[in-house]
Structure 1
Amino acid sequence: MNRQLRTKEKIRAAAADLFIRHTVSRVTADEIASYAGMSKKTLYNHFSSKEELESEVFLHFIHDIRLQIGRLAEEDTDFLHKLQNLMRIITHVTGILSDRLIEDLQQNKRELWRMIDEERHISFVEGVTPIFRQGQQQGFIRNNIDIPFVMEMLYQNIRIISDSEFIRSSSRSLSELAPLMLDIFMNGIMEKGK
């Protein structure tokens, strides 16, 4: 990796860490540059604006998750193993994204949240569909289940539990809601006794 890319990655990693800890709207470009150990001028040599950096941080995050799910889908293992690992990935991701961060994005960074939502929708459906098709072929998911419909329904459930108002009205955090929702959802589409 050349120096330019290393510097850009260092900035992106610093921003991601600060966004996770303090939320996006509370972090300034000065703080990101300082945390990355460089000048604000260097930061702006790599990113034209803080908004561009924000987008890149979350696109990179989604891309990493997409790669993890893609590798999982390609593994030579059965559906249940893949489902367990998929649940681990989702639990890990929801553990990183605090309720405060979700609320900040939805209330103060609406365009960024819209972009994140579109990207995670595409990544989720494209990545998880092959895993669920395998589950159906192996007899774990009922044959009368329409997989594309299930993917959309599951994604919409993820959207619901990641809504800041829903989280606030719930007695649970996002990191608690995700595995609970997946458990309830999966028990509804699985063959009895599987």
Structure 2
Amino acid sequence: MKEKILDKATDMFLTYGFKSITMDDLANEMGISKKTIYTHFENKTKLVENCMDHLSQNISAGITRICTLNKNPIEELYEIKKFVMVNLKDEKSSPQYQLQKYYPKIYKTINQRQFELMQECVKDNMQRGINQGYYRDNLNISFVSRIYFSGVTSIKDPQLFPIEKFPIKTLMDDYLEYHIRGIVTPSGRKVLNEIINSNHE
């Protein structure tokens, strides 16, 4: 039952936001009593914390799995973006911003974990891209990987990028293209253009 509550709560939080979903909403949606939820989670903060842990572990496992497929480094970044977007429900409710605002301690922990995972993943991706001739060999990998993480975090701020002007899917596509165009060689640019063209078909 705990796993079912986690799955449903995570889904609802990502769809409607952390602030708007109450324990009553969750109990009604699942057709169970609030008491059942409180048997597994002592309060809403604990539930949010467990949901974010659960989601973070699922995303980490998925990204690690994609990285073991040894795809072309540029294709790999698009696969990871697609996988994350599906798991975050296209971020319709700006969950990162709400988490930061209403549950800052949980946000800080999750953000640090995301940073560590992305550093490892992006650095590895860049090194392979350089070795295979898709990325420029004069890149400062540590700098670019941090800038990339900083950008991914910043574009999710609805005050900077209001969702009505910048739909999240378009925003993520534009940001990923912006990142890759800054680091590719001519042969990497060719791969990037092929991916973009095939995505538009």
> How high is the TM-score relative to the length of structure 1?
0.85
Q: Is it true that 1:145 corresponds to 2:123 in the alignment?
A: no
Q: What is the CA–CA distance in structure 1 between the aligned matches of 2:108 and 2:158, rounded to whole Å?
A: 14
1:49-80 CA distance string (max 9 Å, x none): 21111011112212211111111111133323
Q: Is it true that 1:88 corresponds to 2:92 in the alignment?
A: no
Q: What is the CA–CA distance in structure 2 between the aligned matches of 1:132 and 1:156, rounded to whole Å?
A: 16
Q: Is the 8 A contact 1:140 1:190 kept in 2?
A: yes
CA change 1:181–1:170 in 2 (3 A) is farther
Deviation of residue 155 (structure 1)? Answer: 0.2
Q: How many aligned residue pairs are there?
A: 188
SS at match of 2:143: helix
Instruction: Name the structure 2 match of 1:4.
Output: none
SS at match of 1:166: coil
Q: What is the CA–CA distance in structure 2 between the aligned matches of 1:169 and 1:27, rounded to whole Å?
A: 20
1:75-116 CA distance string (max 9 Å, x none): 133323323312323443565312443443333333333233
CA change 1:17–1:92 in 2 (3 A) is closer
> How high is the TM-score relative to the length of structure 2?
0.82
Match of 2:115 among 114, 121, 132: 121
RMSD: 2.2
Match of 2:124 among 123, 127, 130: 130
Q: Which moved more, 1:85-94 or 1:17-26?
A: 85-94
CA change 1:50–1:125 in 2 (3 A) is same
Consecutive unaligned residues in structure 2, runs of 5 or more: 189-201
Q: What is the CA–CA distance in structure 1 between the aligned matches of 2:164 and 2:104, rounded to whole Å?
A: 22
Instruction: Name the structure 1 match of 2:172.
Output: 178
Match of 2:61 among 59, 63, 67: 67
Deviation of residue 169 (structure 1)? Answer: 8.6
Consecutive unaligned residues in structure 1, runs of 5 or more: 1-6
